[in-house]
Amino acid sequence: MSTLSLFIIIVFILGYALIAVESLTKINKAAIALLMFVVCWVLFMVDPSKFLLTMHPDLNVTAHSVMSFANKVIVEHLGDTATTLFFLMGAMTIVEVVDQNGGFNWVKNVMRSKSKRGLMWKIAFMTFFLSAILDNLTTSIVMIMILRKLIKSHEDRMVYASLIIIAANSGGAFSPIGDVTTIMLWNKGLITAAGVISEIFIPSLLSMIIPALILQFMLKGKIATDAPLSIGEENESEKEFGGFQRKLIFAIGVGGLCLVPVFHTFTGLPPFMGILCVLGLLWSVTEVFYYRLYKKTGGSEDFAKRVSNLLRRIDMSTILFFLGILMAVACLEEIGALEQVGKGLNITFNGNHYAVTGIIGALSSIIDNVPLVAGSMGMYPVTVTGDMAVDGIFWQLLAYCAGVGGSMLIIGSAAGVVVMGLEKITFGWYMKKISWIALVGYLSGIGSYALIRTFLFVSPL
Over residues 131-184, the pLDDT tens digits come to 888 777 778 877 887 787 788 888 888 999 999 999 999 998 998 888 878 888
Amino acid 24: pLDDT: 79
With a cut of 50, which residues of the chain have pLDDT below it? 226-234, 236-237
Sheet strands (E) in 55-153: none
3-state secondary structure of 115: strand
Question: Quick check: 310 and 96 in contact, CB under 8 A?
Answer: yes
Question: Quick check: 420 and 379 in contact, CB under 8 A?
Answer: no
3-state secondary structure of 222: strand
Neighbouring C-beta atoms of residue 234, cutoff 10 Å = 14
pTM of the model: 0.70
Amino acid 433: pLDDT: 92
How many Cα atoms occupy the beta-carbon half-sphere of 298 within 13 Å?
Answer: 0
Amino acid 236: pLDDT: 46
3-state secondary structure of 61: coil
Whole-angstrom CA distances from 231 to 129, 224, 248, 270 are 22, 17, 20, 41
Amino acid 63: pLDDT: 57
Output the CA angle 313-318-320, nearest 5 degrees. 105
Amino acid 457: pLDDT: 65
Amino acid 233: pLDDT: 47
**Measured between alpha carbons, how far is 355 from 369 in angstroms, rounded to an integer?**
17
Output the CA angle 419-424-430, nearest 5 degrees. 75
Dihedral over alpha carbons 282, 286, 289, 294 (to 10 degrees): -160
Which residues contact residue 378 at a Cβ distance below 8 angstroms, ignoring those fewer than 6 apart? 329, 330, 332, 333, 338, 339
Amino acid 80: pLDDT: 82
